[in-house]
Amino acid sequence: MPRQLGELEDAVMTRVWQWNRPVTVREVLEDLQQERSIAYTTVMTVMDNLHQKGWVRREVEGRAYRYTAVSTRAAYSAALMNEAWSHSDNPAAALVAFFGMMSAEQREALRDAMRIVSPGASEAGDHPADDAGPETGR
């Protein structure tokens, strides 16, 4: 499991994930500079670190590198959730607490995801009881 990205690493990866194409340090720098004062060498170092950690791959283009994400934001988020859950001394209680923190929209997204990974499960979401929490073994 990769460890959680730092604040600047996350800001850089957010752009790489959103743009979903090979990017240069200069492109990321110019976008980051709309929010904060940051040096080219700082962004270059962060992107090199992300490459060394396996978050991005890079290819030479002229005198610069173009960086591409190795994985998706969704895969990263899933890995973080799995890591946190696996460290719980009571995984069922951790899930119940997590589900309790979810908004109605997040619970619906969870139901949709469960339908995808559990084909043939009965449809949910058509009655108010479903808003009480995620499906449980239907």
Question: What residue ranges in 8-138 does DSSP mark as E strands?
Answer: 56-61, 64-69
Query: pLDDT tens digit string along 90-122?
Result: 988 988 898 899 999 999 998 998 899 887 655
Each of the 138 residues of the chain gets a pLDDT tens digit; together they read 467 899 999 999 999 999 999 999 999 999 999 999 999 999 999 999 999 999 999 999 999 999 999 999 999 888 888 888 888 899 889 888 988 999 999 999 989 988 998 876 555 444 444 444 444 443
**Which residues, at least 6 apart from 84, have a Cβ–Cβ distance to it below 8 Å?**
94
What is residue 85's predicted lDDT score, i.e. its pLDDT? 85
CB 68 within 8 A of CB 16: yes
Q: Using DSSP bridges, classify how beta strands 56-61 and 64-69 pair: parallel, antiparallel or unpaired.
A: antiparallel
